[in-house]
Amino acid sequence: MIELLCQISQVLDREDKLKVLLILFLFLVGGCLEVIGIGIILPYLALLLNPENFEGYVLLKKLYSVLIDYQIISNLNGFYIFLTALVIFFYWLKNLFFIFSLRFQIRFNYEIYRRLSSNLLSKYLKESYLNHINRNTSEIIKNINQQTLDLVQAFLFPILILISECLIVLLLLVFLLFINPLSSLYVFTLLGLTVVVIFMCIRKRLHFSGEAISRSRTEANKQVLQGLGSFKTTKILNKEAFFIQRFNSAISDMTTARRYYELSQNLPRFFLETAIVTVMLSLAMLMLFNGKPTRELILTLSIFGMSGMRLMPSMNRILNALNSTRYSQGIVKSLMHDLLIANFKGSQTSISDGAQPIKNFESLKLDNVHFSYTATAQTLNNLSLTIDANKSIGIVGHSGSGKSTLIDIMLGLLDPDVGEIRVNNKLLLDVKESWQQLIGYIPQDIYLSDDTIKANVAFGIEKNEIDDKQLALVLKTAQLEDLINGLKEGVDTIIGERGIKISGGQRQRIGIARALYHNPQILVMDEATAALDNVTEHEFMQAINKLKGRKTLIMIAHRITTVKNCDIIYVIENGYIIDKGSYQELSSSSKVFKTLAQL
């Protein structure tokens, strides 16, 4: 727990830590109010039980004189009524303070949750592409939506409750020690041992339950995403039962662990209630057998009884907080590493420009670039090439030859293991942000959100900031005019999650329009026409070829005809550039190119 607390301390900023200090101060005030609330009952009960001893209470006697002088009361009965009203008013004031304090704590906790989950999403979005592809989406969703909430609800909030209730118990112990030291030590020793024994009996399994829930959540999320993400295949192959069975297995493990946690939070109350009744009754018997006067016995037991009424919920909350923090350590253990990075490094890679940002593209140069995803297999080997502004470049090769990896390196998504990349003779790492702003990228797999065509084309732009003229122009270039004209809502048509309501070719064309919307200087196409029919591809390539000489075009294509008009075509095989030249030159000199052309 100490290690996790230290990690959370690193996650909290200066303002958060000041708020924690304020909360601790509120706890101290609250604890004092609790003790005063019980303490004022002592003279009140003593006065009611022994009214003849009124003269012995100096402060009460002075207060009585003041009230008589101002004619607020007229006799002792009126004074009793006044004291009763004063006690009731104090308890109202005390509880209003606790309501305010609780409201402040809850607001603080969920503000922490909002900030941590937002920082975590920012970290995941800004981290390197290589780190991203090595992550599981289910794990990311779990961390952002569930684990950060557990960190607040099952650890941070219980820690605050633990501090608050321990402070109250400590102040009550000090107060009762003044009243009756031996009885106080007897009561608190037995109750303390009860709490320790219960916690020690369940602490180990609680930690395992937290870890089990963390694993099960990831697996349950994975089965939902995979089953629904491959909905057509699942239906056609009749594999619904496969995903349901795996989901049920994960949920079953999670509910078993959760059931144990819920029991651990509720069962201790019954043991504590039994322990408090046992302690109080045994205390009464001990005092009775020791010959305590009846009035003193009644007064002492009244004070201890009221303290017991306050101690029982406090002990229960202390035990529940201990259980919760133990349980949550198993859940959030894997989360803390990412949270620490999110709060102190922002991301694992920085894309801010260290050199003067580039505004106009002149050249891209790769010099002896090597790259591998794993230590055992090299994806790109000793690769060098130069791309000048307003040239059209084609990249061809068999599947798995390294074409898409090369594009990712050019885009700045992957960093080479060896070699360097320069844009306008500046290191790409120094100008990555401004470089990427010059690029329009059309990937092989277009991601479309459950939104309008308009919003998907102008990706990441607020609706009131979308340029309708530019939108119309890129829709025309991407051959989408007929689709838009045939839709009742036009560009405001909702296309469904991942564009499920439109065809594959239409999704590809929306991706093309998206890349063109920002009027990029460089257009990168990674199998951009793979989902288009021959006629649509021909029409699209005609529009793209009109951009030759005005924009830099970089294309990966299966169909060799797609790159036929490129100025230079690079042939890649096993991570090496084995040939380069124009379409005509390669058609006569490159065996690999000839083979690709015949496919």
Instruction: State the DSSP H helix or E strand holding residue 419, giving kind and residue range, or none if neither.
Output: strand 418-423
- CA distances from residue 334 to 151, 159, 211, 504 in whole angstroms, order as listed: 11, 19, 9, 38
Residue with tokens 């079953």: 252
Q: What is the pLDDT of residue 345?
A: 53
Instruction: State the DSSP H helix or E strand holding residue 526, giving kind and residue range, or none if neither.
Output: strand 522-526
Q: What is the pLDDT of residue 349?
A: 44
- pLDDT (tens digit per residue) in 343-365: 665 434 444 455 578 889 999 99
Residues of the chain with pLDDT under 70: 1, 52-57, 232, 292-296, 299, 343-355, 531-532, 599
- pLDDT (tens digit per residue) in 234-288: 777 788 888 888 889 888 888 888 888 788 777 777 887 888 888 888 877 877 7
d(CA 314, CA 101): 16
Q: What is the pLDDT of residue 188?
A: 83
Bridge partners of 554, per DSSP, are 393, 524
Q: What is the pLDDT of residue 348?
A: 43
Q: What is the pLDDT of residue 189?
A: 86
- Give the type of residue at 88: I
Which residues, in sequence order, are CB contacts of 493 under 8 Å at separation 6+? 452, 453, 487
- For the stretch 91-110, what's the b/e string if a residue is b when 16 or more beta carbons lie within 10 angstroms of its beta carbon? eeebeeebeebeeebeebbe
d(CA 402, CA 379): 6
- pLDDT (tens digit per residue) in 209-223: 777 877 888 888 888
d(CA 428, CA 416): 11
The pTM of the full predicted model, rounded to 2 decimals, is 0.73
Domains of the chain: 2-344 (1.20.1560.10), 363-598 (3.40.50.300)
Q: What is the pLDDT of residue 398?
A: 86
Residue with tokens 């564009």: 499
Q: What is the pLDDT of residue 392?
A: 92
Here the tokens at position 487 are 């839709």
Q: How big is the CA angle at 451 (ends 556 and 115), to the nearest 5 degrees?
A: 95
Chain center to CA of 395: 40
Instruction: State the DSSP H helix or E strand holding residue 383, giving kind and residue range, or none if neither.
Output: strand 380-388
- CA-based nearest residue to 127, from 434, 406, 345, 445: 345
